[in-house]
Every structure is written in structure tokens, then in C-alpha cells.
Chains A and B, each alone.
Chain A
Amino acid sequence: GENVEQHPSTLSVQEGDSAVIKCTYSDSASNYFPWYKQELGKGPQLIIDIRSNVGEKKDQRIAVTLNKTAKHFSLHITETQPEDSAVYFCAASGPGGSYIPTFGRGTSLIVHP
């Protein structure tokens, strides 16, 4: 089955800095890679996703890059703000797993004002 590794587990940055979270996956058939933001006591919220036919996707301060050859993808947040503080999960899914996503272990992002 699919295995997703996520690093770092904790990331502490100053407001205005950039934050990068990296994930690797094992199943080369995986073709959909969403990122979720989970605030304390709430359910995960989809913030951006990328499919395997593109290498990069951007939405305002958030971007995701995908390297299919190396089987890794990354979340980039620029100009971080305190409200970006949350736990971020990456996931991978594809036909091999009936499109049921496999989640990374999560990254706790702390943005210091």
C-alpha cells in the first residue's frame, strides 16, 4: 500500500517568513496530492491540491510543487501570518488504493508574531 512520510513534525517561523513542508510517497500510481490545514478542535480543511499532470500550483500565498520522478511534493507558504498556525497534513491517493488518501503524520506550524 501507499506510505506517506511528512517532515518536519514541527516548524516554527517568524511572521513574514516562508514555511516549507515536505512529503514523500511510495506508490508511483498515486496521482492526487491534497494538503489539509487543521486548526485545534476542528476538522481538516482542504487548502490546495495538485494532480500528477502538473508540477506546480499556486493560490495566493500557498503553492504546492510535485516531483513525480522523485515521488515527493511540498507545500510552500510565503509571508506567513499568525493565523497560519495550525497542523498541516499532506496526503496521496490514486487508483491503487481506490482513491482513498493516505495521510502524512502532520506538521505543526507555529508562526510567531
Chain B
Amino acid sequence: GAVVSQHPSWVICKSGTSVKIECRSLDFQATTMFWYRQFPKQSLMLMATSNEGSKATYEQGVEKDKFLINHASLTLSTLTVTSAHPEDSSFYICSARSLGQGPYEQYFGPGTRLTVT
């Protein structure tokens, strides 16, 4: 149980275009989803937290107009990188937790490798 999927697993896009990444909880209802960014050989950097049906809470320094997060249902959250630039190239990882499981366990997706050319 507690499986989180991401789609796509990797994507290449041209500078100036937008890219949408999907995160799904497959066997539980995710009341909260998190989006992380990870650079090579570095730790996970939290970008934003989203609760189903509410606006996402962005971490300091993360541009909310550039990284659009939608958590429209209990099993799906999306991250849209708008007007992508090469510096947005990174590994994006989502995670999810269920209120029913308590505030502790957090399950990660497999990640999405974004390359902006």
C-alpha cells in the first residue's frame, strides 16, 4: 500500500514553454501533498504544500506564478512549470500523506526529471 505515482518520469521541453507534472496517490486519499525540488547530490528542497481543495502554501523564495500547484482531488496534484527556462531543469518529486494515517508517514513518488533546452 501507500503508492504514489508521477507522470511523466522525464520530460524535455524548450525554453519558454510550460510543463505539467502529475502526482497521484494510487491506494489512499492524500489530504496533503508536497512538492520538492532536488539538484544533483543535494537534499530535497520543499517547494510547496497543498491541501485538497485549498490554495498551495509556497516556501519562501519559490515563485508561485512560475510553479502553479493544483490539488483538485484527494488523489491528484499537479505542478505546472510555466515559461520554463534552463535553470528550472531539475528533479521534481512529490509526496503525499493521508490524514487517516496520522500526521507522520509521507510517501514519495518516483520523481520527474525536467530538462529545459
Question: Chain A: residues with CB nearer than 8 A to chain B?
Answer: 32, 34, 36, 41-46, 49, 51, 89, 93, 98-101, 103-106, 108
Contact = CB atoms under 8 A, between A and B. Distances in A.
Interface in B1-57: 4, 6, 34, 41-44, 46, 49
A42 B44 contact: no
A63 to B, nearest CB: 19
Contact of A43 (B41, B103, B105, B109): B109
Interface of B: 4, 6, 34, 41-44, 46, 49, 93, 95, 103-111, 113
Contact of A99 (B43, B95, B104, B108): B104
Contacts of A104: 43
Given A89-B44, A104-B43, A42 B104 contact: no
Which of A36, A41, A44 has most B Cβ within 10 Å?
Answer: A44
Nearest to A102: B46
Given A49-B104, A49-B105, A93-B104, A106 B93 contact: no
A44 B36 CA distance: 11
B64 to A, nearest CB: 17
